[in-house]
């Protein structure tokens, strides 16, 4: 079965949506047959846009993670290369120009940055080199390839004869491991494949591969353990992380691309078969990290490992067209879209979904790689996607009266220049609700794939009085001909109480603006430096008084507003507190700050922005009378 037919088999066919009081939404609609390619493109575009909404343009990174930012930007490079979309080239160059200098510890990373994207973390440096090679591939601007060479020359100094060879993981030379050396082989092989007449980097790649495959880190099952014991130079038999397996596949395959040595491909296939076979890295056919087991949690680094695996799996499937590898890839993309996505288009850590799923930009970047890999090559010239804003609005209706919510359906389309796309847009809500207009025809006029054409449709949703509290879907489907169809939705929360832990799905509808804040788990959201986060409380129209209680600590500033623009400070920590010793439930009266619609906004920021210990909130409740 060809790759396109495998993808069709997994991606074709609509998943029915239940309208009314619902759990988180199921997948969007697909048409059959040839619609799989355009739909895969549209899905990747929606997910890529969600990821880039977390990009911070001033520091030119994704907040709080240095190497993770490199991988996220490389994923966006994959997306652009795969689909032809070129909207995010500016952000790649923004990062290159702003972040190539020297920075003190804590500004962009826990470590000082030494310039040219290097630091004491050798693997971090290598991730950035691969990102700039990807950018070179997109632009052919030699400055990016030159930077990759500069980084490789820095890393080369950390290869020595200890344990017979290999690159050290850190500048202190404490550990030789799989990730650093998988990256080294991939990096040097990529350089060789882009520099005419090169022999130096090819020799380094071959030397690295020979050492790595003989080091003992690839165990008897064909799985890659984490590294070597420093004293014995034997495998430590430590955790088989998906990114180590993926990097070994990607390293061997790039070297195979350079040499066409069939023995390399044999080893790569062994690594791939081990990953998806019995005892490998899957659960019910879905790629699963060991830290996803019940009772465990994945840290911020581990959240991105599976996407790295899929990046190099995509490379393998593109070239081998092995139906087993294609089918595995298609299953990951289908599971991510059907089981791992919320109404806002966010993709989680657990690709098979589940109530304990975790969502942030790192999980978004990781799962996005599965959706990118599902886009066929060459990418379809015509595609159509849709989103709804706001995706998770909250309504706190007054007693005895209907409530109206304003939504906006956003459409994006690609097509060859001169071809228009006329889309039939249909919107519907639960029984008894009215969505106006329920149907509208719009025309988009794209000029290729580089910049998708856009248009919007304003929607008014009338919610009947007495609607019980719960979550409800408003569905929007855009259709153009037999091959282009895309369904999206808004998940409206009807609520009369406000009571949630931060860092959970229950927080999301109330989190109006996350800005550069971070959440490292349940009961944890914080804002360091110039970052902040804002909660929005749309109290009923007959509200006469309201207050919010925040369980909060560290160096916080709490501000209130009635419009989300003009702010008044209502609470501040004036001492530099770093250990949470001031943790307490603090109540703030919002009555003087409510806007004409009785909506209140609460913003949490950092009272000492230079030391990195900003306001941290654990739990939020709000009360009102009316």
Q: Give tens-digit pLDDT for 118-145.
A: 999 999 999 999 999 999 999 999 999 9
Residue 323 phi/psi, 5° resolution? -60, -30
Which residue in 308, 295, 422, 309 sits closest to 356, CA to CA?
295
Q: Is 70 exceeded by the pLDDT of residue 30? A: no
- Give the separation between CA 413 and CA 409, rounded to whole angstroms: 13
What does the DSSP assignment read for 141-182? -HHHHHHHHHHHHHHHTTB-SGGGS-BBSBTT---BBHHHHH
pLDDT of residue 31: 31
Question: For the whole model, what pTM was predicted?
Answer: 0.91
**Mean pLDDT of the residues in the chain:** 92
Mean pLDDT computed over 15-32: 33
- Give the separation between CA 474 and CA 609, rounded to whole angstroms: 40
Of 9-18, 49-58, 366-375, 536-545, the one with minimum mean pLDDT is 9-18
Q: Is 80 exceeded by the pLDDT of residue 10? A: no
Mean pLDDT computed over 106-115: 92
Q: Is 70 exceeded by the pLDDT of residue 26? A: no
- Contacts for 105-113 with beta carbons within 8 Å, 24 or more apart? 106/612, 107/59, 108/59, 108/61, 108/66, 109/66, 110/66, 111/66, 113/66
- Give the separation between CA 365 and CA 505, rounded to whole angstroms: 19
Omega before residue 593 within 30° of 0, cis = no
Split at pLDDT 50, 70, 90, the class of 519 is confident
H or E stretch covering 84: none
Half-sphere exposure of 176 (CA within 13 A, CB side): 26
pLDDT of residue 23: 37
Q: Is 50 exceeded by the pLDDT of residue 3? A: no
Split at pLDDT 50, 70, 90, the class of 27 is very low
Q: What percent of the chain clears pLDDT 70, i.e. is strictly above it? A: 94
pLDDT of residue 463: 96
Burial pattern 377-392, b for ≥16 Cβ within 10 A else e, equals: eebbbbbbbbbbebbb
Question: Which residues contact residue 355 at a Cβ distance below 8 angstroms, ignoring those fewer than 6 apart?
Answer: none
Of 62-66, 221-225, 274-278, the one with minimum mean pLDDT is 62-66
Q: Computed from CA positions of residues 195, 196, 200, 206, in that sequence, does the dihedral angle turn out positive or negative?
A: positive
Q: What is the 3-state secondary structure (H, E, C) of 2-59?
A: CHHHHHHHHHCCCCCCCCCECCCCCCCCCCCHHHHHHHHHHHHHHHHHHHHCCCECCC
Domains of the chain, each with CATH number or no CATH: 384-494 (2.60.40.2310), 498-625 (2.60.120.260)
Strands (E), 213-252: none
Q: Give tens-digit pLDDT for 246-258.
A: 999 999 999 999 9
- Give the separation between CA 68 and CA 517, rounded to whole angstroms: 16
Q: What SS3 class is residue 266?
A: helix
Q: Is 90 exceeded by the pLDDT of residue 493? A: yes
Q: Which two tokens stand for residue 374?
A: 């599902």
Q: Beta strands 118-119 and 113-115: pairing type?
A: antiparallel
- Give the separation between CA 306 and CA 296, rounded to whole angstroms: 17
CB burial of residue 407 (10 Å; 0-12, 13-18, 19+): buried
- Give the separation between CA 118 and CA 23, rounded to whole angstroms: 46
Q: Give tens-digit pLDDT for 386-427.
A: 999 999 999 999 888 889 999 999 999 999 999 999 999 999
pLDDT of residue 35: 61
Q: Which two tokens stand for residue 527?
A: 């804002």
Q: Is 80 exceeded by the pLDDT of residue 4? A: no
pLDDT of residue 313: 98
Residue 253 phi/psi, 5° resolution? -70, -40
Mean pLDDT computed over 491-513: 94
């Amino acid at each position: 079965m060809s790759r396109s037919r495998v993808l069709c088999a997994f991606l074709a066919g609509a998943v029915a949506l239940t309208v009314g009081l619902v759990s988180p939404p199921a997948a969007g609609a697909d048409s059959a047959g040839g619609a799989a390619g355009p739909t895969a493109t549209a899905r990747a575009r929606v997910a890529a846009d969600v990821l880039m909404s977390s990009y911070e343009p001033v520091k030119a990174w994704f907040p709080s993670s240095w190497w993770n930012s490199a991988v996220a930007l490389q994923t966006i490079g994959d997306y652009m290369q795969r689909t032809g979309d070129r909207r995010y080239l500016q952000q790649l160059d923004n990062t290159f120009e702003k972040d190539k200098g020297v920075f003190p510890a804590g500004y962009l990373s826990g470590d000082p940055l030494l310039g040219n994207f290097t630091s004491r973390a050798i693997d971090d440096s290598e991730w950035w080199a691969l990102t700039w090679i990807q950018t070179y591939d997109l632009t052919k601007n030699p400055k990016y390839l030159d930077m990759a060479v500069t980084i490789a020359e820095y890393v080369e100094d950390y290869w020595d004869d200890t344990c017979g060879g290999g690159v050290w993981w850190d500048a202190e030379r404490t550990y030789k491991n799989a990730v650093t050396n998988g990256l080294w082989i991939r990096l040097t092989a990529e350089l060789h494949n882009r520099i005419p007449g090169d022999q130096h980097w090819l020799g380094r790649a071959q030397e690295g591969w020979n050492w790595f495959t003989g080091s003992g880190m690839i165990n008897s099952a064909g799985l890659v353990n984490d590294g070597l014991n420093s004293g014995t130079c034997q495998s430590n038999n430590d955790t088989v992380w998906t990114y180590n397996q993926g990097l070994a596949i990607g390293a061997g395959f790039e070297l195979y691309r350079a040499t066409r040595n069939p023995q390399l491909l044999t080893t790569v296939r062994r690594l791939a078969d081990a990953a998806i076979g019995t005892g490998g890295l899957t659960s019910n056919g879905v790629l699963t990290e060991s830290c996803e087991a019940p009772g465990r949690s994945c840290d911020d680094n581990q959240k991105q490992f599976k996407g790295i695996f899929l990046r190099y799996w995509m490379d393998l499937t593109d070239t081998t067209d092995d139906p087993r590898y294609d089918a595995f890839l298609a299953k990951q993309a289908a599971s991510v879209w059907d089981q791992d996505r919320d109404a806002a288009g966010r993709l989680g850590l657990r690709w098979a979904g589940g109530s304990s799923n975790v969502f942030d930009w790192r999980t978004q970047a990781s799962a996005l790689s599965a959706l990118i890999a599902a886009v066929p090559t060459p990418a379809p010239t015509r595609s159509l996607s849709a989103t709804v804003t706001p995706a998770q609005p909250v309504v706190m209706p007054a007693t005895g009266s209907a409530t109206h919510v304003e939504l906006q359906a956003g459409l994006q389309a690609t097509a060859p220049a001169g071809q228009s796309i006329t889309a039939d847009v249909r919107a519907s809500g639960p029984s008894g609700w009215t969505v106006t207009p329920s149907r509208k025809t719009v025309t988009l006029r794209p000029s290729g794939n580089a910049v998708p054409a856009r248009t919007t449709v304003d929607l008014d949703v009338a919610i009947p009085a007495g609607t019980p509290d719960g979550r409800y879907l408003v569905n929007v489907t855009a259709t153009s001909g037999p091959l282009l169809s895309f369904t999206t939705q808004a998940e409206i929360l009807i609520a009369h109480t406000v009571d949630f832990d931060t860092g959970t799905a229950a927080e999301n509808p109330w989190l109006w603006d996350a800005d550069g804040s971070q959440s490292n788990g349940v009961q944890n959201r914080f804002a360091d430096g110039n970052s902040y986060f804002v909660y929005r409380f749309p109290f009923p129209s007959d509200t006469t008084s309201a207050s919010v209680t925040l369980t909060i600590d560290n160096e916080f500033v709490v501000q209130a507003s009635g419009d989300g623009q003009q702010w008044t400070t209502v609470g501040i920590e004036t001492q530099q507190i770093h250990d949470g010793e001031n943790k307490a439930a603090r109540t703030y009266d919002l009555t003087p700050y409510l806007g004409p619609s009785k909506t209140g906004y609460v913003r949490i920021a950092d009272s000492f922005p230079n030391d990195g210990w900003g306001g941290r909130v654990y739990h939020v409740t709000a009360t009102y009378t009316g």
